[in-house]
Amino acid sequence: MSPSGRRMGEGRQQLGAPAGKRLLLPGSRGSPRGLPGGGGPGAQRFLLGLFVHAWLWAASGSSAQVFNLSLSVDEGLPPDTLVGDIRAGLPATQQQQEGGGFFLSEDSDDSPLLDDFHVHPDTGIIRTARRLDRERRDHYSFVAATLLGAVVQVEIRVNDVNDHSPRFPRDSLQLDVSELSPPGTAFRLPGAQDPDAGLFSIQGYTLAVAAHELQIEAWDGGRPRRMGSLRVDLRVLDENDNPPVFEQSEYRAAVREDALPGAEVCRRPLDREAQAWHQLVVEARDGGAEPEVATVRVSIAVLDGGERAFALRSGGSSGVFFLCVDGPLDRESRDLYDLRLVATDAGSPPLSTEKTLLLRVADLNDQPPLFSQENYRASVSEAAAPGTAVVCVSASDADEPGTDHARLRYALVPLPARCNPEALRPTAECGPFFSIDPEIGVISTTRSLDREVQEAVELRVVAQDLGEPPLSATCLVSITVDDVNDNEPIFLKQVYNATLLEHSPVSASGLWIYGRPGKGWR
């Protein structure tokens, strides 16, 4: 902040508020829109007129003195930053005499002075009311008058700070350069803009990357230096500097004399990956002594195997064509086609334009689910608690992922249970003992198992999609129930009687004892 004041002139003048000015009176605390003491609009106009007449009377009876006060403040400082004191524009002798405050006058009703600054009309202290932006407004001016007739013309200059980086009009551009361009060829690029001024504006440019992809950087003179960048994609344009080359120096072919017009005589192999586009020039010549010649360019696109599924057909009227399906489509083999449409006129030379058309093949529910295995095998202990996971089956669907055509649900199909009727107790049951999670295909037990009742289980699992109509697939799951030693041996009789002859030799057989093995006994 740099205040300075000097006496501009001396003489008797009639001082007043010029037309279009706003007055701020002592005691109004920074707002010119209302006067202290309240009251309606009539009362405010009366008080304003009273204050102005009193000030004019005082000024007319004294020597009018006009002083200049120049202040400056940096942009971007926080609100309530001290800018200066209006009294600094007065001579030191008058600073002690003036004690009644200041009348302040702005340039016009739309002046932003009192929006951007707090000016105290009693003390003359000036503070910022908000963060200033030099790029929005770089200076302010107003007039302050004392009751004794001294006038201070205040100028506030907003100092620039380096708060903006250089900016190019676009982030990137493509620069087309002919492959025949000699060294030193100049290319004009769009310049960068920096709202800052002086040293803080653009000071130069730097080439950051030297390759086919360039980056241009603009930098200012601030400390620290601010920079803006522009990416330039350099594309080398082809020039017609290579003549065509035939694959063979000579072609020989034989043709029958009764061959129909359009019959193939000689072929040149086509490979879309090697060259997807061919252009021919067809010349028509009449039979005159000085033949007239006309030429036309024929553009031929080499289609990939799948692209033969489409064809252009005339719509009857001039310039109207329909893109039609000309072959079978299979989304699972190819779901996206990148078609190149070329329109060529009959001018000389002919002109053409082209467009790229992306065609997406919509899915139909034409793919049934497919299990990863046709047969699953697993085992589970007969001591497993209900809810034990035994095996997980999985299937997939080649239809479009995320649609109902590819979402699967699993279910079990009941099969006849193979149980041992001799081992069935009154409280024993024979299947089903398993369930399947419909979302993830995990098969779990639903109750306690008994190997002596059922030692093997076969389940059929169905996977079905949610399409219309739904498609399904099945697989077979074989589960073996593993044995645990959970049963003791059992005798067939409670009491056995036997008779032995005396003097029987050692190891003589006198009694056979029969027992039945317990469940799980070996």
The three-point CA angle 125-127-132 to 5° equals 150
User: How many C-beta atoms lie closer than 10 Å to residue 336's C-beta?
Assistant: 10
Mean pLDDT of the 94-111 span: 68
The full DSSP string for 22-84 is: EEE-TTSTT-TT--TT---HHHHHHHHHHHHHHHHHHHHTS-EEEEEEEEEEETTPPTT-EEE
Mean pLDDT of the 475-482 span: 94
Per-residue pLDDT at 108 exceeds 60: no
Which residues share a beta bridge with 354? 342
Number of residues assigned to the chain: 522
Domain 172-180+193-237: which CATH number of 2.60.40.60, 3.40.50.10890, 3.30.465.10, 3.40.50.10470? 2.60.40.60
Of 259 and 399, the structure prediction assigns the larger pLDDT to: 399
Residues 444, 435: Cα–Cα separation, whole Å: 6
Cis peptide bond upstream of 469, omega within 30: yes
Which of 4-18, 58-72, 207-221, 416-430 has the least mean pLDDT?
4-18
Residues 477, 462: Cα–Cα separation, whole Å: 11
CATH number of 245-362: 2.60.40.60
**Residue pLDDT, tens place only, 398-452:** 999 999 999 999 999 878 777 766 555 555 566 678 999 999 999 999 988 888 8
Per-residue pLDDT at 216 exceeds 90: no
Burial class (CB in 10 A: 0-12, 13-18, 19+), 262: exposed
Residues 326, 280: Cα–Cα separation, whole Å: 25
By three-state DSSP, how is residue 305 classified? helix
Instruction: Kindly state the tokens that stand for 92.
Output: 């030191």
Whole-number Cα distances in Å, 455 to 46, 342, 445, 483: 112, 72, 14, 8
Residues 485, 11: Cα–Cα separation, whole Å: 127
Residues 142, 10: Cα–Cα separation, whole Å: 20
Going by CATH, does the domain composed of 371-418+431-482 fall within 3.40.50.1820? no
Whole-number Cα distances in Å, 472 to 196, 364, 368, 373: 71, 15, 6, 15
Instruction: Kindly state the tokens that stand for 100.
Output: 């009644």
Mean pLDDT of the 99-123 span: 77
66-159 and 245-362 share one fold: yes
Instruction: Kindly state the tokens that stand for 401.
Output: 């992922």
| CATH architecture for the domain at 66-159 | Sandwich (2.60)
Which of 147-156, 173-182, 325-334 has the least mean pLDDT?
173-182
Domain boundaries, the chain: 66-159, 172-180+193-237, 245-362, 371-418+431-482
- Which residue in the block uniquely carries the two structure tokens 């699953």? 376
Residues 225, 202: Cα–Cα separation, whole Å: 10
Q: How confident is the model at residue 91 (pLDDT cuts 50, 70, 90)?
A: confident
- Which residue in the block uniquely carries the two structure tokens 């008779």? 499
Q: Answer yes or no: are the C-beta atoms of 361 and 462 closer than 8 Å.
A: no
User: How many whole angstroms from its chain centre is CA 102?
Assistant: 58
Per-residue pLDDT at 223 exceeds 60: yes
Rg (CA), the chain: 51
- Looking only at the bridges linking them, the beta strands covering 172-178 and 227-237 are parallel
Instruction: Kindly state the tokens that stand for 7.
Output: 């006496």
Per-residue pLDDT at 3 exceeds 60: no
| Strands lying side by side in the sheet with 472-482 | 375-381, 472-482, 456-465, 408-413
Q: Answer yes or no: are the C-beta atoms of 477 and 414 closer than 8 Å.
A: no
Whole-number Cα distances in Å, 443 to 65, 166, 374, 385, 471: 103, 66, 16, 14, 22
For the ranges 71-80, 349-358, 449-458, 492-501, the maximum mean pLDDT occurs at 71-80
Per-residue pLDDT at 286: 78
Of 20 and 250, the structure prediction assigns the larger pLDDT to: 250
**Which H or E run contains 95?**
helix 92-97
What is the percent of the chain with per-residue pLDDT over 70, rounded to a whole number?
74
Per-residue pLDDT at 51 exceeds 70: no
Q: How confident is the model at residue 22 (pLDDT cuts 50, 70, 90)?
A: very low
Mean pLDDT of the 231-235 span: 82
Residues 454, 432: Cα–Cα separation, whole Å: 10
Per-residue pLDDT at 268 exceeds 90: no
Instruction: Kindly state the tokens that stand for 330.
Output: 């299979």
Of 226 and 99, the structure prediction assigns the larger pLDDT to: 226
Which of 190-204, 268-282, 428-442 has the least mean pLDDT?
268-282
For residues 191, 195, 200, 206, the Cα torsion angle rounded to the nearest 10 degrees is: -20
Q: For all residues of the chain together, what is the average pLDDT? A: 78
